[in-house]
Amino acid sequence: MTTAISRPRRPAQVADPDLPDAWAMARAQLRASAARTGIERDVVERLSHCEREFTLNFPVRMDDGTLHIFTGYRVQHSLARGPVKGGLRYAPTVAIDEVRALAMWMTWKCALVGLPFGGAKGGVRCDPHSLSDGERERLTRRFAAGLVPVIGPAVDIPAPDLGTGPQEMAWFMDTVSMHVGHAQPGVVTGKPVSVGGSEGRAEATGRGIALCTAWAADRLGIDLHRSRLVVQGFGNVGATAARLIHAQGATVIAVADAGGGIHREEGLDLVAVARHARIHGTVAGFPGTEPVGRNGILEVPCDVLVPAAVEGQITSANASRLSCRLVVEGANGPTTPEADEILLARGIPVVPDILCNSGGVVVSYFEWVQDLQQFFWNEAEVNARLGAIMRTAFEATWDRATTSGTTLREAALDLAISRVAETIRVRGLYP
């Protein structure tokens, strides 16, 4: 039995009014890729829309006895290649267009690494840090119950994302299991190992980012042992990536989360920083460091920059001030198309999100496979399979960019979107 972990309460995050429109950005990427690869209009039109979109307004009893109506979404972008897959986000900024963009990016991500899934995403507009454990549990269970008719191991398999983790997935799995009358671990991934989760899943996204960083550094002649690393985002993904890239020799000089950032040129003690963050709810204020803003951190001079927070962080407003040799995208959509242009002109390569952060969904796929076959692998086996799949996708992306003269992002999108387009073409149009 897993127990709820109490989280320190943080100040509520507020929506950033300047955040670029992620859905417009995602659709523009699709159109540009289709123009490069010559995908026909009908297929582009189908992929420009999300196939199914669900909005749930649902009640939750709060600790003070009041009733609060929360709004949640589940968007299934493309069902062409298999069941749909993607995380559930709890954040005050959750909105339908953001969920649509994230669902579309999941379709491309799954196709790029060759998983038999389409893309989906969901979320609940709430501030998870201001909810008690009991409120989070009731919210998660009611949201899961509302989704029962439209999810399932053969249909749609949610997973953790920003603001959710193994505990929410365990509640989710339990609620769906109660509804269907038997344990159904394959309905959700990112669960604790004790309820059918996979070894290696918790670290998988960070591990994939660390692998891509090492391979990209190798291709670019960057010696990680002499490199300074900056990571924006110190949740599960950012903190694991920082630790594993540090284990490969890099010095982590700055990290930031929603509460602020810290900088120490001689390097940070990541174990101590993680302990501080657990106690205080943020890395900010860690002794012996200079404070940096969570946006200012992107401009700290370094060799490798890993934006691992949220979308729309590297924009036309700050891309010219980045001072790094390589950007490795841990978050989904952290760089806007305008910023991509600026970084291209400045000769700063960007290893794209749908490649770098695919480790999470790859091990989610392993978790789903293990749940369905009811036969489980050890961590070494999971990590070896993860490395093999990501290496293939990394090589294919890098080689395509080199031979076609595109950026790495364009190469990744072109490979992924062409695969989805081919599936749609071959399946044809019903009726």
- Given the rule CB under 6 A, which residues bind ligand GLU? 85-87, 159, 161, 189, 332, 357, 360-361, 364
- What is the number of the residue whose Cβ is closest to ligand GLU? 87
CB of 110 to ligand GLU, least distance (A): 8
Q: Which of 261, 359 has the CB closer to ligand GLU?
A: 359
Catalytic annotation present for 109: no
Angle at CA of residue 364, ends 13 and 79, nearest 5°:
90
What burial letters (b/e) apply to 25-35, b meaning 16+ CB within 10 Å?
Answer: bbbebbeebbe
Q: Which of 235, 360 has the CB closer to ligand GLU?
A: 360
Q: Which of 85, 419 has the CB closer to ligand GLU?
A: 85
User: What's the CA gap between 419 and 300, in Å, rounded?
Assistant: 38
CB of 78 to ligand GLU, least distance (A): 14
Q: Which of 104, 229 has the CB closer to ligand GLU?
A: 104
CB of 156 to ligand GLU, least distance (A): 10
CB of 85 to ligand GLU, least distance (A): 4
Q: Which of 364, 406 has the CB closer to ligand GLU?
A: 364
Indicate which residue of 85, 109, 121, 191 is catalytic.
121
Q: Which of 250, 389 has the CB closer to ligand GLU?
A: 389
Residue located via tokens 């950007």: 327
CB of 364 to ligand GLU, least distance (A): 3
Which residue in 326, 323, 239 sits closest to 283, CA to CA? 239
CB of 311 to ligand GLU, least distance (A): 11
Residues forming the active site: 121
